[in-house]
Structure 1
Amino acid sequence: MVKKNKYIIKNIVIAAAVAMFFSCNNSLSNVQKIGISENEPIGEEYNSNLKYTDSGRVKANLISTKLFDYTNRDFPFHEFTDGATLYIYDNENRKSTIVADYAYVYTETDLIDMRSNVVITTHDNRVLKTDQLYYDQSKEWLYTNKPVSFKTEQDLINGNGFDSNSKFTNAEVLEVTGIITLQEED
């Protein structure tokens, strides 16, 4: 009877060990998440300077005094709460500057979302003001559907949207409500 009880206890211990072995998950990402709320950033960075390059050439440079890292989310992003400055460089290395009070960078889509008091100053001193502007890094494209004010050398163009490549060679104010000077061709 003692031998039978030892056999039963031995089988129970083996079954429990096997169950524990298969139930344990040695996932480093799960271990790293312990103690971190999904609503909290996994990191903070101060005086960040992010550079976006293509073929060894800097295409864009995002500078901010404070960055929150939310890459632990299903849709990962970085948040810039104390303002952000984005420099965009064209092929001739001319710099256009975008300044905003707030920004998000969505890491999976290469989209930069600039918000609140957004001001673009192009390399040739044209100025666009709006409340929100998106910069698609992969397509090198800027756009918004918010009201805009676009000041060129001779005009102030108001409208409800803006679309342009990063070189500003085909900048277009959408749903124009301002005054535009047109030149007649002979």
Structure 2
Amino acid sequence: MNTKGINNFRSIAIVFTMAMLFFSCEDNYKRVGDEAIKKMFPSAVAEDFVLTYTETDELPKNEGVVSSHVVAVLKSPLSNDFDNLLFPHRTFPNGLIIEFFNEKGEKSTITADYGIVYSSTNLVDLQGNVVIESSDGKKLEAPQLYWDRSNEWIFTQQKFKYTNPEEGTIMDGEGMDFNRDFSFFNANKTYGYMSIKEKKIEND
């Protein structure tokens, strides 16, 4: 074999070796990447899910009877249970409805496109077209809300729209917190008020 033929053979061998190394590294990279992403699977899936939250009534000790009443009911067409993880939670990918009941039995509702209930912290994360409607007609709209079940408190740092038919006003703002029946409402930042009554008069 002449010198030219030997050089060509060496060049082909080098290119082939480099190609093998490249594909080998690429394959290892892909497999390492797949292993790095831990896939999470729910331990249980429930359709037409209903979860009832109750509160124990305070009774005299000598009564010997334990009484409770319903404070909230959570409903969803689909629930994924991830309570088997280190940070247990339950997701509601197809949306959910939460109904609140006060001492008089009056109902307020929360609807959202997506929800997460964190078991260890008693916190509910509501996302996407979140709407709260109280029994007296008050309405709050926001892209995201948090419900602290332990303290019965609802809050957000997102923008919101609050409609109060009693006062005949609509308020736009950003960041607020309140209790479940709207008896206490605190807005961090407001952009202005619009009177519903004045708007109706102008339309008439």
Q: TM-score range by the shorter chain?
A: 0.7 to 0.9
> In the TM superposition, what are the counterparts of 1:74-85 in structure 2 within 5 Å?
74-85=86-97
Q: What is the rounded CA distance, in whole Å, between the counterparts of 1:77 and 1:141 in structure 2?
A: 19
Q: 2:108 aligns with which of 92, 96, 100?
A: 96
> Offset of 1:174 from its aligned partner?
2.3
Q: What is the rounded CA distance, in whole Å, between the counterparts of 1:99 and 1:59 in structure 2?
A: 16
> Offset of 1:161 from its aligned partner?
1.4
1:135 paired with 2:180, answer no
3-state SS of 1:174 partner? strand
- Counterpart of 1:165, as a letter, is N
> Offset of 1:172 from its aligned partner?
2.4
Q: What is the rounded CA distance, in whole Å, between the counterparts of 2:127 and 2:176 in structure 1?
A: 14
3-state SS of 2:191 partner? coil
Aligned length: 145
Larger Rg: 2
Is contact 1:38-1:73 (8 Å) kept?
no
Q: Could you say what the CA RMSD is over the residues aligned between the two structures, in angstroms?
A: 1.3
What residue number does 1:178 align with?
192
> Offset of 1:38 from its aligned partner?
6.0
TM-score (norm 2): 0.68
3-state SS of 1:45 partner? strand
Higher helix share: 2
Q: What is the rounded CA distance, in whole Å, between the counterparts of 2:188 and 2:103 in structure 1?
A: 26
What residue number does 1:31 align with?
none
What residue number does 1:121 align with?
133
Q: Percent identity?
A: 32
- For each residue in 1:73-118, what CA deviation from the matched residue of structure 2 results, as whole angstroms up to 9, or x when unmatched? 1110000000100011111111110000000101111111110000
| Unpaired runs of at least 5, structure 1 | 1-36, 182-186
Q: What is the rounded CA distance, in whole Å, between the counterparts of 2:194 and 2:163 in structure 1?
A: 10
TM-score (norm 1): 0.75
| Unpaired runs of at least 5, structure 2 | 1-37, 57-67, 196-204
Q: What is the rounded CA distance, in whole Å, between the counterparts of 1:127 and 1:143 in structure 2?
A: 14
What residue number does 2:176 align with?
162
Q: What is the rounded CA distance, in whole Å, between the counterparts of 1:38 and 1:70 in structure 2?
A: 12
> Offset of 1:173 from its aligned partner?
2.6
- For each residue in 1:29-82, what CA deviation from the matched residue of structure 2 results, as whole angstroms up to 9, or x when unmatched? xxxxxxxx7611111000011001111111111000000000011110000000
Q: What is the rounded CA distance, in whole Å, between the counterparts of 1:138 and 1:180 in structure 2?
A: 34
1:42 paired with 2:56, answer no
